[in-house]
């Protein structure tokens, strides 16, 4: 197959842990041709979608790329969107262009309209049976009422990643006002508040779902001492562990809906028994799971893609 990956700049990727590169290595070992592009390499010429792509090959030293050539999206057997958030206007425009590319024969994973529709924070509201108590608002008074009710909460922006700008608030915090003013931009930015889950100390579990089916292991991201966030980008430690019965219930139930929506690769975040986020842009964790278990997530991904 000819596989095109839309990535952040190659020099910004951490070769030893990047999930996109892990998938690409596995793809090359299976005989597939690799191509890479960045977000703004996709464009319209008239009504026709085009994309500038470079052929990519892993080498003994690192990798090599050839000069970019202009293609129509249908030239590839799969286009895999792996651009990291934030989900800003440029990301939004990319989903529109990818949707046009799909209408013209491109096979895009994840489905562009689904990436657009499934906000990574708000999507848990589709599964209230699994979500902790939450509030979505820009109104600081409502957030204070939520805090008074639950006494210990987490507030986070709707477009963040890697644990950025996530705050834990308790009733005794002397900085409640300034935190709420900052995160809501004085009531002009909508955020999500969730009841704090003390089970975070045992890890924020990343469950990888591929074509509707979860891997048998989650990556529990355990916060470093004195930290609320378990994200690896925030200094957490990743420990692979077998899915619990509750993890499996959440992942299989949610996975069916994800597959129907056209979301091929998704990362579910589960703390304790609760679903806290649904990551549809560029979920990670494959490398750590592969290193610590007998599961090979990149191979599972490619086997599912080949069946498609």
pLDDT in tens, 93-138: 999 999 999 999 999 999 999 999 999 999 999 999 999 999 999 9
Residue 279 is among the residues annotated as catalytic for this protein: yes
Residue 211 is among the residues annotated as catalytic for this protein: no
Residue 303 is among the residues annotated as catalytic for this protein: no
How far apart, in whole angstroms, are the C-alpha atoms of residue 305 and residue 300? 9
Closest CA to 289 of 208, 194, 170, 204: 208
Annotated catalytic residue: which of 18, 120, 159, 269?
A: 269
Annotated catalytic residue: which of 50, 82, 111, 156?
A: 156
Residue 306 is among the residues annotated as catalytic for this protein: no
The CATH architecture to which 134-196 belongs is 2-Layer Sandwich (3.30)
Residue 30 is among the residues annotated as catalytic for this protein: no
Cα–Cα distance list, 141 to 149, 181, 184, 187 (Å): 12, 11, 11, 10
Residue 204 is among the residues annotated as catalytic for this protein: no
pLDDT greater than 70 at residue 230:
no
Residue 126 is among the residues annotated as catalytic for this protein: no
How far apart, in whole angstroms, are the C-alpha atoms of residue 14 and residue 7? 12
Could you tell me the residue ranges of all domains in the chain?
Answer: 2-113, 134-196, 199-307
Query: What are the structure tokens assigned to 46, written together?
Result: 């008239």
Annotated catalytic residue: which of 18, 159, 204, 277?
A: 277
More confident residue, 127 or 235: 127
Q: What is the pLDDT of residue 233?
A: 67
Annotated catalytic residue: which of 221, 231, 247, 288?
A: 221
Annotated catalytic residue: which of 83, 111, 195, 206?
A: 206
> What average pLDDT is seen over the chain?
95
Report the percent of the chain where pLDDT is more than 90.
Answer: 90
Residue 156 is among the residues annotated as catalytic for this protein: yes
Query: What are the structure tokens assigned to 289, written together?
Result: 């799971």
Fold assignment, 199-307: D-amino Acid Aminotransferase; Chain A, domain 1 (3.30.470)
- 271-292 pLDDT, tens digit per residue, is 999 999 999 999 999 999 999 9
Annotated catalytic residue: which of 83, 229, 231, 288?
A: 229
Query: What are the structure tokens assigned to 284, written together?
Result: 């990670």
- Which of the following CATH numbers is that of domain 2-113: 3.40.50.20, 3.65.10.10, 2.102.10.10, 3.30.565.10? 3.40.50.20
Q: What is the pLDDT of residue 159?
A: 85
pLDDT greater than 90 at residue 34:
yes
């Amino acid at each position: 197959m000819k596989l095109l990956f839309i990535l952040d700049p190659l020099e910004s990727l951490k070769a030893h842990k990047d999930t996109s590169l892990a998938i690409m290595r596995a793809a090359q070992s299976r005989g597939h041709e690799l191509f890479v592009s960045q977000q703004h390499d996709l464009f319209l010429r008239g009504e026709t979608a085009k994309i500038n792509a470079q052929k990519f090959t892993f080498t003994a030293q690192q990798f090599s790329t050839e000069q970019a050539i202009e293609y129509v999206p249908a030239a590839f057997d799969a286009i895999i969107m792996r651009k990291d958030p934030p989900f800003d206007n440029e990301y939004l425009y990319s989903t529109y262009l990818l949707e046009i590319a799909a209408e013209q024969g491109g096979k895009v994973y994840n489905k562009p309209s689904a990436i657009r529709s499934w906000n990574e924070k708000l999507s848990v509201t589709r599964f209230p049976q699994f979500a902790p108590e939450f509030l979505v608002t820009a109104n600081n008074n409502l957030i204070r009422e939520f805090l008074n009710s639950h006494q210990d909460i987490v507030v986070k922006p709707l477009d963040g990643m890697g644990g950025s700008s996530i705050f834990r608030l308790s009733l005794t915090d002397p900085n409640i006002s300034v935190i709420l003013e900052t995160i809501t931009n004085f009531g002009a930015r909508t955020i999500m508040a969730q009841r704090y889950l003390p089970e975070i100390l045992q890890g924020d579990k990343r469950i990888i779902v591929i074509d509707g089916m979860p891997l048998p292991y989650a990556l529990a991201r355990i916060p470093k001492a004195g930290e609320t966030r378990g994200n690896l980008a925030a200094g957490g430690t990743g420990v692979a562990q077998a899915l619990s019965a509750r993890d499996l219930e959440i992942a299989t139930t949610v996975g069916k809906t994800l597959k129907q929506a056209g979301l091929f690769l998704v990362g579910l975040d589960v703390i304790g028994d609760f679903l806290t986020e649904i990551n549809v842009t560029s979920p990670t964790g494959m490398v750590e799971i592969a290193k610590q278990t007998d599961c090979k997530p990149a191979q599972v991904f490619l086997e599912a893609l080949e069946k498609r």
